[in-house]
Amino acid sequence: MKVLGRVKLERFWKRHRTVEKHLRAWLTEVSVAGWNTPDDLLVSYPRARVLDGVRVLFNIKGNHYRLLTDIDDPQRTVLIQFVGTHAQYDDIDAKTYGRAKH
């Protein structure tokens, strides 16, 4: 999978050093993932939550941090929408965050 928005992760781990190795590990794993469906993803990340057919929430570092993505299986891309602490995540609407308003 191609990961788009890596700079968001890098900026975040520069401010929160304790999560850097966890986000780097996630990047490595996702970059080589062969997911074709949300069910494939859940085999690798059983604690992830598929919020709709595209939006997926990952718990990072024992659920201290949240990573919100949009995954396009046919295009083999993962778009980073949000990375933050659990408390920061509680302040957003995960289903609409980062999506264009129509």
pTM over 0.85: yes
Query: Strand pairing partners for 65?
Result: 60, 85
Residue that the structure tokens 């520069």 belong to: 14
Q: What is the pLDDT of residue 12?
A: 96
Domain ranges within the chain, ordered by starting residue: 2-90
| pLDDT, tens digit only, all 102 positions of the chain | 999 999 999 999 999 999 999 999 999 999 998 888 888 889 989 999 999 878 999 999 988 999 999 998 888 899 999 999 989 999 999 988 887 654
Give how far Cα 20 sits from Cα of 35, 43, 56, 83, Å: 24, 24, 20, 12
Q: What is the pLDDT of residue 100?
A: 62
Task: Please say whether the structural domain 2-90 has been given the CATH code 3.30.2310.
Answer: yes
Q: What is the pLDDT of residue 48?
A: 94
